[in-house]
Amino acid sequence: MAKEKFSGGQQGAALDRVDGRQKVTGAAKYSADNILPGLTYAVLVESTIAKGQIKNIDTKKAERAPGVLAVIYHGNAPAIPGYESGGNPAKPPTGGEPFRVFQNAHIYFAGQPIAMVIADTYERAIYAATLVKTEYNREDHQTSVEANKDKAALPKGPRYANYVRGEADAYKNAAIKIEAQYIIPVEVHNPMELHATTAAWDGADKVTVYDKTQGVKSTQRSIMDAFKLKEQNVQVNADFVGGGFGSGLRTWPHVIAAVLAAKKINKPVKLVLTRSQMFTMVGYRPYSWQKIGLGATPDGVLTGLTHEAISETSTYEEFTDRTVDISKVMYACPNVNTRYKIIALNKSTPTWMRGPGEATGAYALECAMDELSYALKLDPIHLRIKNHADVDPVRNLPWSSKFLKECYQKGAEAIGWNKRDPRPNAMREGEWKLGYGMGAGNFNANRGRATVKATLLAGGSLVLQSAVSDSGPGTATTMTGIASEVFGLSPHKITFELGDSSLPPGPTQGGSTTTSTLGSAVHDVCVALHQKMAELVTTKPGSVLQNAKLEELHFAKEFITLKTDPSKRVAYAEVLKQRDLSDLEVTKDSQAGDERNKYSIYSFAVHFVQLQVHEATGVVRIKKVVTVADAGKIINEKTAGSQLMGGVVSGIGMALMEDGVFDHRFGLFVNNNLADYHLPVSADVPHIEALFIDKPDPFINPMGSKGLGEIANVGFAAAVANAVYHATGKRIRTLPITPDKLII
Ligand code: MOS
């Protein structure tokens, strides 16, 4: 395939969100906004115990309540064929069996859906759900990582084996060493939009589902597998998705429950999770305990790095993330070893949450690097630059591109690092102590597979289609920008259609890969369309471009032009007109090549924080944030800037507020609502300077753009914790850093 240079053209560079008007005016339809004729409403009843068996469910009162159409529980639930034959409706991350809704009397976690009431109105369904009475045989449960550390075990599979490079635990023999333990509590995704599913069957073997999902194709596949349906008979729509952060990466049991309910009563059913159900039914970032040991020579050369982590999973699935992986690749250190274990607890399965693994690991590693810098009396930036990994130390391969040193420099300048008095507890602003802190991070910059269909219409406008969902980053906007640049057409004449499983297969939106994966397919389909147009115009008798060769043609500003004689040109619309065509279609499948065997492809970011800590109350006020990303070529500075800002906001939450509190006596969440589970609001978020190196990666894809969503918060919480230490001299190693931890 001919490659056309992507220059990140002017037209796409700061394109406003193509769907921005729909979003801010309320015209955008989210999953729960789809009101189908004859719609009914399902409400889930949850287990109040964390482990045991259902002894009895009394549904009679609920069934007799006004408007109730059905009450479904394990005793009467229709068979789910994919469950019975071992199908896998909600693919588990690594091992085990996904929770099978309404299939037996087992209780695996508190908040588990045990029954479902379907009624003609939402209010009647809520009321009837309160009438379902359940008796349990309760068993002793365990929900605490801290109380069960002795039960931690290596996850199955070679990739979780203990890692050793050089000598294990070498830090213990170093001239200068630190050792510290760090804790991050459970965090929940809780995007603004609640998870919601509306399902409507058409006969016995065809269903349409409106779902909040980060992957219309993966949800379609899950429903196909569970109900044994053909691909063309499962239609999944997600026109708009109001945030996800990872909670929309799996097809959760409530989705299967909604499809089951609609089948049972043969009417459309809508099921919207409550805010409290969002804490137990769609995953969470697992609790983690981490220990880091660092050793260095007196002048700051790392000689040993040990990273241990213990995290949690459910008893029915093995969830893992890459908590310790960042310590293997972040710094050039000859002796590195990591150990990662998980504990199976009576809780629902955790799942990936923004920066999964790396955000957790970077918090510990980047705090530890800060601790080491003080032990060495060395500037934390200098320490990092001194131990910069010039090649990938795990695979011993060159980086495809790496501008991490430039990130340090650019960020330090923007935050005013040189104004920092390096001594802790030394800077003040009235009653407030002043601190500066920084932390860095990386994330694998992957590229998957996608198919995009391009249709050039008679009027010269372009329609692009792919079955991807946009959980918020602005995918249609970014893709429009890429198409505008590559195809040579004003963005206003381009439409990108997504959120529909019947479109050509697109990727699941996760792991910071959408722009790389889908953008490459957009690039390739635009090039292929150029070729097709060239074939038509150069073989058209009488055309000014007749007999010209493809390489002699230039495609820009809606014209095909002869490079050697720009007076010879044909408008895109004219190409179709000459041939009497109403449209011209090309579909292109695109995926990565073998560049990953030759290079290590990562994105990098450095975060800087300036904050105040109030002396008497311990209140932390973040004054300024500078985040600098090496994410390759920036396609759209507005949407990319928003990605960084969103990551920073979630990082502020992680550092200062977010804490999923469990009462382990009952195995229940204490603060499963947004009044008690604190998130940053506008008043907590200062001016954020989102900066980019903006240099294309030569290898990852035709655009040169690397992933951005995850690195936006990998290392950010450490920057805050380090700034708090600099301000106060207090090293808080358990997140979140709430005022109570600073006044004692
Ligand atoms: Mo993200 S955790 O890849 O949705």
Structure tokens at 155: 């996850």
Reduced to 3 states (helix: H, G, I; strand: E, B; else coil), residue 449 is coil
User: Regarding predicted confidence, which is higher, 522 or 9?
Assistant: 522
What CATH number belongs to 3-28+448-591?
A: 3.30.365.10
pLDDT at 26: 95
The 10 Å Cβ neighbour count of residue 82 is 20
> What letters, b where the CB count within 10 A reaches 16 and e where it falls short, cover 574-594?
bbbebeeeeebebebebebee
The alpha-carbon radius of gyration of the chain (Å, integer) is: 27
Residue type, 170: A
Say if residue 91's pLDDT is above 90. Answer: no
d(CA 480, CA 498): 12
Residues 227 and 315: beta-carbon distance below 8 Å: no
Residues with Cβ within 6 A of ligand 1? 214, 244-246, 249, 352-354, 356, 510-511
Structure tokens at 557: 């500003």
Question: ∠ CA 721-724-729 to the nearest 5 degrees?
Answer: 115
Say if residue 267's pLDDT is above 90. Answer: yes
d(CA 488, CA 556): 4
Q: How far does the centroid of ligand 1 lie from the alpha carbon of residue 355, in Å?
A: 7
Q: What is the DSSP string of 11-44?
A: HHHTPPPTTHHHHHHT-SPBGGG---TT-EEEEE
Q: Which residue out of 189, 213, 249 has the highest number of ligand 1 atoms within 8 Å of its CB and is therefore the one to mutate?
A: 249
Q: How confident is the model over 426-448, as pLDDT tens digits?
A: 999 999 999 999 999 999 999 99
Ligand 1 atom nearest 248 alpha carbon: 4
Structure tokens at 651: 């990082």
d(CA 125, CA 44): 9
156 band by pLDDT with thresholds 50, 70 and 90: confident
Q: How far does the centroid of ligand 1 lie from the alpha carbon of residue 244, in Å?
A: 8
605 band by pLDDT with thresholds 50, 70 and 90: very high
Ligand 1 atom nearest 351 alpha carbon: 2
| Cβ-Cβ contacts under 8 Å for 462 (sequence gap 6 or more) | 454, 455, 456, 483, 487, 489, 493, 494, 495, 529
**Average pLDDT score, the chain:** 95
Structure tokens at 391: 């090649």
Question: ∠ CA 395-402-9 to the nearest 5 degrees?
Answer: 130
Which residue has tokens 């001594």?
Answer: 423
13 band by pLDDT with thresholds 50, 70 and 90: confident
Question: ∠ CA 436-605-308 to the nearest 5 degrees?
Answer: 85
| Range with the poorest average pLDDT among 79-93, 204-218, 281-295, 450-464 | 79-93
Which residue has tokens 């044994």?
Answer: 228
User: With 0-12 CB in 10 A as exposed, 13-18 as middle and 19+ as buried, what is 617?
Assistant: exposed
d(CA 440, CA 454): 39
pLDDT at 95: 72
Structure tokens at 363: 């918090």
Residues 662 and 110: beta-carbon distance below 8 Å: no
Q: How confident is the model over 539-577, as pLDDT tens digits?
A: 999 999 999 999 999 999 999 999 999 999 999 999 999
Q: Which CATH number fits domain 34-140+192-243+248-281: 3.40.190.10, 3.50.50.60, 3.90.1170.50, 3.90.1150.10?
A: 3.90.1170.50
Residue type, 62: A
Residues 443 and 481: beta-carbon distance below 8 Å: no
Write the secondary structure of 140-189 as one string of H (helix), E (strand) and C (coil): CCCCCCHHHHHHCECCCCHHHCCEEECCCCHHHHCCEEEEEEEEECEECC
Say if residue 1's pLDDT is above 50. Answer: no
Fold of 285-446+597-743: Aldehyde Oxidoreductase; domain 4 (3.30.365)
pLDDT at 41: 98
Strand 95-96 with 176-184, pairing: unpaired
- Measured between alpha carbons, how far apart are the two ends of the chain, in Å? 65
For the chain, give the percent of residues with pLDDT over 90.
Answer: 95
Q: How far does the centroid of ligand 1 lie from the alpha carbon of residue 425, in Å?
A: 37
Structure tokens at 282: 């769609």
Q: How confident is the model over 163-200, as pLDDT tens digits?
A: 999 999 999 999 999 999 999 999 999 999 999 999 99
Per-domain residue ranges for the chain?
3-28+448-591, 34-140+192-243+248-281, 285-446+597-743
Say if residue 90's pLDDT is above 60. Answer: no
Q: Which residue out of 189, 212, 245 has the highest number of ligand 1 atoms within 8 Å of its CB and is therefore the one to mutate?
A: 245
Residue having the nearest C-alpha atom to atom 4 of ligand 1: 246
Report which DSSP code applies to 250: S
pLDDT at 228: 95
pTM comes to 0.96
86 band by pLDDT with thresholds 50, 70 and 90: low
Phi, psi of 536 (to 5 degrees): -65, -45
As a whole number, mean pLDDT of residues 594-613 equals: 98
Say if residue 157's pLDDT is above 90. Answer: no
Which residues are known to be catalytic?
A: 710
285-446+597-743 matches 3-28+448-591 in CATH topology: yes
As a whole number, mean pLDDT of residues 457-481 equals: 97
Q: What is the DSSP string of 295-319?
A: EE-TTS-EEEEEEEEEEEEESSEE-
As a whole number, mean pLDDT of residues 231-243 equals: 98
